[in-house]
């Protein structure tokens, strides 16, 4: 077959194949904003999936992120990469007979995990239920209660956050595998890999995932500089985020921020594989239940009433 | 005659030995299962401890009465009909006194509470009741009962909640 060329007003003779190649390259180029053509942007663009990177690649990415965040927030920010501790499966307990619904946990979480202040993102929602009514009906609970003092007589409170399911529906729904379950049971998100399709939010039966509709806004002086790649590092617009049991704290042995702040000590945390942990004691000695057990998500978040009936 | 006595002794010794063993083995873990974790000092108000600095030269008045000169802020809303000496030791004021007469220090006041609140005491020892801070797999801080519960009126005081989240309808 002879090469078909066509002439144009400029007099350039271009065969069909070369023209299409050029057009394809040109189109690919238009997909990238040219005003951000610095090296760090291209590195971020071609960054691999977190689980496919080796140690040196992760280190390089983290160095780049620390530099970026440092420039943006004008302070030193540490992005950690602690691995899951072998023989640890995190579990969480919440004593509903003691929670007074004061929302201290919500704001401690916001502070620790660098959630956006405006637009507001809260990883924990405290639900209020009337005593004695059909209460597991989450849709009819009250989130926006605002009395002068809590606890109010005739009500009880139930904080809901990510339940860290053993069989997480959000992970199955993610088309890019930007979210997955770590060996210690924490469901994490790689914010650099998330495309913001929000399928995971639709899949989550607990409403535990939150979307950054606008650029997250954290005041520079309030930013917590001790972060983790998979946890509380600053997020981007158009990414989904969620509770990670304070991965940056718990993988270093500390309690999550909500446990530390709770004024009544209703929140319990520990290793499910350690028979001496308080969470195991709760499961073995108290009547625990998990939210929406019928969906077979097997949450690692156990609610109980320590005083029983 | 002597033989049968001897036999009796053997029998009783054989009976007592395992029993006493049981007694000791029971007593030992009860002492041991008190957590050896960091417990901060009791939350005394300024200048109130040691109690003996005032009470040393005062005669002990065991009569149940309304306090008018000192400790007037204390209204006992804990165990109706109770009186100071149910927990405080009249002879050595710097100690607390258990129902069985044993003296305990203010740092170990959980024994006082544990006399009546056995289930809560058991939960507290394992870490289920009360606030835990520190490390989930290491050094934890245990709080005394009195850090959260004012012992003379132990019910929690209501507190002001932090603001509710922004309603979707309020987003501009």
| A 244-263: CB under 8 A from B | 250, 253-255, 259-260, 262-263
Q: Which two tokens stand for residue B54?
A: 């005032």
What pLDDT sits at residue B23?
44
Partner-chain contact A265 B136, CB within 8 Å: no
Q: Residue B128: list chain A partners with CB under 8 A.
A: 93, 95, 268, 278, 281-282, 285-286, 306
**Rounded Cα–Cα distance for residues A177 and A105 (Å):** 30
Q: Residue A265: list chain B partners with CB under 8 A.
A: 129-132, 143, 148
To test the contact with chain B by mutation, choose from A91, A97, A281 the residue with the greatest count of B C-beta atoms within 10 A, namely A281
Higher pLDDT, A4 or B29: A4
The alpha carbon of residue B140 is apart from the nearest alpha carbon of chain A, in Å, by 9
Partner-chain contact A120 B160, CB within 8 Å: no
> A218-236, pLDDT tens digit by residue?
999 999 999 999 999 999 9
pLDDT above 60: residue B156: yes
> A74-87, pLDDT tens digit by residue?
999 999 999 999 99
B8 pLDDT tier (thresholds 50, 70, 90): low
| Partner B contacted by A281 (CB < 8 A) | yes
Contact B105, B95 (CB under 8 A): yes
Mean pLDDT of A250-279: 93
pLDDT above 50: residue B28: no
Nearest chain A residue to B148 by CA: give it.
Answer: A264
Partner-chain contact A253 B163, CB within 8 Å: no
Supply the ipTM of this predicted assembly.
Answer: 0.81
| A 74-93: CB under 8 A from B | 88, 93
Partner-chain contact A260 B166, CB within 8 Å: no
Contact A242, A113 (CB under 8 A): no
Partner-chain contact A255 B133, CB within 8 Å: yes
Size of the A and B interface in Cβ pairs below 8 Å: 98
What are the CA-CA distances from residue B81 to residues B67, B84, B86, B89 (Å)?
Answer: 15, 10, 10, 18
- Of the partner residues A106, A122, A253, the one whose CB lies closest to the CB of residue B136: A253
> A114-166, pLDDT tens digit by residue?
999 989 999 999 999 988 877 667 777 899 999 999 899 989 999 999 999 99
- Of the partner residues A100, A101, A269, the one whose CB lies closest to the CB of residue B136: A269
Q: What is the DSSP string of chain A?
A: -PPPEE--TT---EEHHHHHHHHHHHHHHHTS-GGG-SHHHHHHHTPPPGGG--HHHHHHHHHHHHHHHHHHHSS--EEE-PPPPTT--EEEEEETTT-----HHHHHHHHHTT--TTTT--S-EEEEEETTS----GGGSBS----SSBSPTTEEEEEE-----SS-HHHHH-TT--EEE-TTS-EEE-TTT-----HHHHH-TT---EE-SS-----GGG---EEETTTTSPP-TT-EE---S-HHHHTTTBPPHHHHH-TT--EEEEETT-TTSHHHHHHHHS-EE-TTGGG----SEEEE-TT--
Cα dihedral B48, B51, B54, B59 sign: positive
């Amino acid at each position: 077959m002879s090469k078909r060329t066509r002439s144009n007003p400029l007099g350039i003779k271009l065969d069909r194949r070369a023209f299409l190649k050029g057009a394809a390259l040109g189109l690919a180029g238009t997909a990238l904003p040219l005003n951000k053509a610095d090296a760090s942007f291209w590195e971020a663009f071609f960054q691999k999936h977190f689980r496919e990177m080796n140690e040196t690649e992760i280190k390089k990415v983290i160095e780049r992120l620390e530099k970026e965040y440092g420039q943006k927030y004008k302070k030193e920010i540490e992005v950690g990469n602690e691995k899951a501790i072998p023989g640890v499966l995190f579990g969480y307990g919440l004593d509903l007979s003691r929670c007074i619904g004061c929302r201290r946990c919500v704001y401690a979480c916001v502070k620790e995990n660098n959630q956006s202040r405006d637009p507001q993102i809260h990883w924990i929602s405290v639900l209020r239920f009337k005593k004695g009514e059909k209460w597991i009906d989450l849709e009819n609970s009250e989130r926006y209660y605002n009395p002068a003092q809590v606890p109010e007589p005739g009500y009880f409170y139930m904080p809901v956050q990510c339940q860290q399911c053993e069989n997480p529906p959000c992970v199955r729904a993610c088309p890019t595998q930007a979210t997955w379950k770590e060996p210690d049971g924490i469901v994490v998100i790689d914010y650099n890999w998330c495309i913001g399709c929000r399928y995971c939010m639709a899949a989550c039966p607990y409403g535990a995932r939150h979307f950054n509709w606008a650029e997250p806004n954290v005041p520079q002086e309030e930013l917590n500089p001790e972060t983790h790649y998979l946890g509380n590092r600053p997020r981007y617009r158009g990414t989904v985020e969620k509770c990670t049991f304070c991965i940056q704290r718990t993988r270093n042995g500390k309690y999550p921020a909500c446990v530390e702040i709770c004024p009544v000590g209703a929140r319990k945390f520990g290793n499910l594989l350690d028979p001496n942990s308080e969470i195991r004691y709760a499961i073995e000695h108290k009547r625990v239940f998990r939210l929406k057990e019928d969906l077979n998500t097997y949450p690692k978040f156990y609610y109980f009433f320590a005083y029983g009936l | 005659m002597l033989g049968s006595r001897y036999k009796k002794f053997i029998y009783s010794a054989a009976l007592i030995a395992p029993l006493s063993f049981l007694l000791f083995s029971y007593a030992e873990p009860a002492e041991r299962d008190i957590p050896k974790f960091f417990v901060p000092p009791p939350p005394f108000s300024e200048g109130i401890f040691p109690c003996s600095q005032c009470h040393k030269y005062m005669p002990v008045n065991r009569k149940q009465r309304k306090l008018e000169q000192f400790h007037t802020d204390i209204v006992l809303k804990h165990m109706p009909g109770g009186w100071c000496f149910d927990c405080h030791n009249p002879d050595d004021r710097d100690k607390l006194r258990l129902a069985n007469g044993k003296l305990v220090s203010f740092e170990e006041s959980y024994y006082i509470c544990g006399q009546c609140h056995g289930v809560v005491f058991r939960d507290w020892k394992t870490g289920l009741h009360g606030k835990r801070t520190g490390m989930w797999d290491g050094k934890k801080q245990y709080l005394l009962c009195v850090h959260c519960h004012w012992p003379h009126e132990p019910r929690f005081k209501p507190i002001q909640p932090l603001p509710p989240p922004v309603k979707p309808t309020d987003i501009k």
